[in-house]
């Protein structure tokens, strides 16, 4: 780490003697150090001591300690350390630290707000430092990681501070989809400041000390009379489980930062590059794991199972990094590797609402597919869904508008798309979950899969409504008649044969073949590249 404090020459000069005065250890063979350099080094060291005193009592790390956890050892190169400060006036610098470092040997741009300096608030100096960093990140085509711990806009600087947020919003939008952007909320983030992380690709929060809200508890109390704590209003748990604003809930700062490092290991540095690859050697254990797939999914199509068990059987080392794990549980999304190549994995979760799509699950799924498409990660979709979640609540919450986001995400994606129907794929949910019709490249189905407009029971109740009524009027066993019709419907319509005959399914595969087939499919599609289909500026995605 390049740091004025760590300079051997400076550190000897600012060592304190026994009487508390500065003790110079210079000799005639050493070049004299200018007094202002010594003063700057003392300011820097004192500022970090002050930061530790303030942060540690709250159970929080300092901005520099956080950077040490995030970046590879010794890789941080700070820019503008004393920018916004006054060395002669004993002001060490602005309330944000900016610079570059490495994560697993790959360059990233970072900024960390320092709550020990003016509450980490953003003023003109801080805004200019961050904008300068983001300009450099876009030019260098490297990811940006933000460590946020701030009281918001600096009130004393008025509209000038707010203007800086406008500049930051614009820069974040310029970088969106071009370089990965990750925000770690490690303290307060309030007011207009919340929209900086909201515009980034991933938001990571901690279980304690982490808060995000547009209007705080005091404002809410004075305007609506509602009393609510900061934690219940915008804590890490709320935004991970209820609002869906955050994508990961860290147990502590170290856990949150480790998750950010992990996610970066799956993403390329920019949209013009392919994701990094890793060596992988198949072993006998792979065959044993693959064999498990034959027993994970129950024969009873109404019995739930954990889709993450299926995912871990088809990805390298069983490693699956979930995104939005605590939100909209009827779908699971996350990063994994197959044969050493990073992929995005999407799957319905039968453990929650039978894997049906609701408003939250639709947005979660669509957002993740778009993220993968931005950064060249193939999308593997594992389907087991009875359809959209029914009910007036869902209709009034906008399932039409929000469900359309899934269609938009898949239909516009130009990365390799491979889909496997594991069990059920009914109605509109079959179409939107990476079907061939919507743009998937290769589609497969397990032998027990069911593909239809409706499940057998629902379809029979509509198709044979009059026949069932006649049977009832004749005194016959209605349940037996309905079961007979349902069995015939399943034999002729619900299975995957029709989809194979029409070319919507490329092949029927045994569960144990799934990983092998995915490897072959991804190798086949590795050379797929983007094409400009029309001359439009951009589409009008449902929002």
pLDDT band per the 50, 70, 90 thresholds, residue 15: low
Buried b (16+ CB within 10 A) or exposed e, 339-367: bebbbbbbbbbbebbbbbbbbbbbbbbbb
| Same-domain check for residues 446 and 474 | no
Please tell me which residue, 536 or 141, carries the higher pLDDT value: 141
| Same-domain check for residues 449 and 382 | yes
Q: Is residue 123 included in any domain, yes or no? A: yes
Residue 348, pLDDT > 50, answer: yes
| Same-domain check for residues 116 and 140 | yes
Q: Residue 321's domain is classified under what CATH number?
A: 3.90.226.10
364 near 328, Cβ under 8 Å?
yes
pLDDT band per the 50, 70, 90 thresholds, residue 481: confident
| Same-domain check for residues 341 and 483 | no
Give percent above pLDDT 70 in the chain.
91
| Same-domain check for residues 486 and 375 | no
Instruction: Identify the three-state secondary structure at position 248.
Output: strand
Q: Is residue 502 included in any domain, yes or no? A: yes
| Same-domain check for residues 448 and 462 | no
Q: Is residue 153 included in any domain, yes or no? A: yes
List the structure tokens of 323.
């995104």
| Same-domain check for residues 237 and 297 | no
Helix (H), strand (E), coil (C) string for 195-210: HHHHCCCEEEEECCCC
State which residues form the domain around 470. 456-493
Give percent above pLDDT 90 in the chain.
69
**Could you read off the pLDDT of 200-248 as tens digits, one per residue?**
999 999 999 999 999 999 999 999 999 999 999 999 999 999 999 999 9
| Same-domain check for residues 117 and 141 | yes
**Could you read off the pLDDT of 286-296 as tens digits, one per residue?**
888 989 999 99
Buried b (16+ CB within 10 A) or exposed e, 155-184: eebeeebbebbeebeebbeebebebbbbbb
Active site positions, annotated? 191-192, 428-429
Q: Is residue 12 included in any domain, yes or no? A: no
Lowest-pLDDT range of 84-93, 261-270, 316-325, 354-363 = 84-93
* Dist CA 382 CA 418 (whole Å): 9
Number of domains into which the chain is organized: 3
């Amino acid at each position: 780490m390049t740091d004025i404090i760590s300079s051997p020459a400076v550190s000897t000069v600012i060592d304190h003697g026994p009487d508390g005065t500065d003790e110079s250890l210079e000799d005639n063979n050493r070049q004299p150090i200018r007094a202002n350099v010594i003063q700057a080094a003392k300011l820097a060291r004192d500022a970090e001591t002050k930061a530790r005193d303030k942060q540690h009592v709250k159970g929080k790390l300092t901005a520099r300690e956080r950077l040490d956890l995030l970046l590879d050892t010794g890789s941080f190169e700070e820019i503008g350390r004393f920018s916004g400060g006054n060395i002669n006036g004993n002001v060490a610098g602005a309330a944000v630290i900016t610079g570059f470092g490495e994560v697993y040997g790959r360059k990233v741009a970072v900024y960390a707000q320092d709550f020990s300096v003016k509450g980490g608030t953003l003023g003109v100096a801080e805004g200019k430092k961050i904008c300068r960093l983001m300009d450099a990140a876009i030019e260098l085509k490297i990811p940006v990681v933000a460590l946020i711990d701030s009281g918001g806009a600096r009130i004393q600087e008025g509209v000038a501070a707010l203007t800086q947020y406008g500049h930051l919003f614009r820069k974040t939008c310029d970088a969106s989809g071009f370089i990965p952007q990750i925000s770690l909320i490690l303290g307060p983030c309030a007011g207009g400041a919340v929209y900086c992380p909201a515009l980034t690709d991933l938001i990571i929060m901690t279980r304690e000390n982490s808060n995000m809200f547009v209007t705080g508890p005091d404002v809410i109390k004075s305007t609506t009379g509602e009393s609510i704590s900061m934690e219940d209003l915008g804590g890490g748990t709320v935004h991970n489980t209820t609002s869906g604003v955050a994508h990961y809930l860290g147990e502590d700062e170290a856990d949150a930062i480790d998750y950010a490092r992990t996610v970066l290991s799956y993403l390329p540095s920019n949209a013009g590059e392919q994701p990094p690859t890793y060596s992988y050697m198949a072993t006998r254990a792979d065959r044993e794991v693959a064999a498990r797939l034959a027993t994970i999914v129950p024969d009873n199509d109404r019995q739930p199972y954990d889709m993450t068990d299926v995912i871990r059987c088809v990805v390298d080392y069983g490693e699956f990094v979930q995104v939005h794990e605590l939100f909209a549980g009827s779908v699971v999304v996350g990063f994994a590797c197959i044969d050493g190549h990073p992929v995005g994995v999407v799957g319905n979760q039968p453990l929650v609402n039978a894997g049906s799509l609701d408003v939250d699950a639709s947005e979660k799924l669509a957002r993740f597919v778009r993220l993968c498409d931005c950064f060249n990660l193939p999308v593997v979709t594992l389907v087991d869904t009875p359809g959209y979640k029914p009910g007036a609540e869902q209709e009034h919450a906008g399932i039409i508008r929000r469900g359309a986001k899934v269609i938009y995400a898949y239909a516009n994606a130009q990365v390799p798309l491979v889909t496997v129907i594991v069990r059920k794929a009914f109605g509109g949910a079959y179409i939107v979950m990476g079907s061939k019709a919507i743009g998937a490249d290769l589609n497969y189905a397990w032998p027990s899969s069911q593909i239809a407009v409706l499940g057998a029971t629902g379809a029979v109740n509509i198709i044979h409504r009059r026949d069932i009524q006649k049977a009832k009027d004749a005194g016959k066993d209605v349940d037996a008649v309905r079961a007979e019709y349902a069995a015939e419907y399943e034999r002729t319509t619900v299975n995957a044969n029709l989809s194979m005959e029409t070319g919507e399914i490329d092949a029927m595969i045994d569960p144990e073949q799934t990983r092998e087939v995915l490897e072959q499919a991804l190798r086949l599609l590795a050379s797929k590249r983007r094409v400009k289909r029309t001359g439009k500026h951009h589409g009008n995605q449902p929002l």
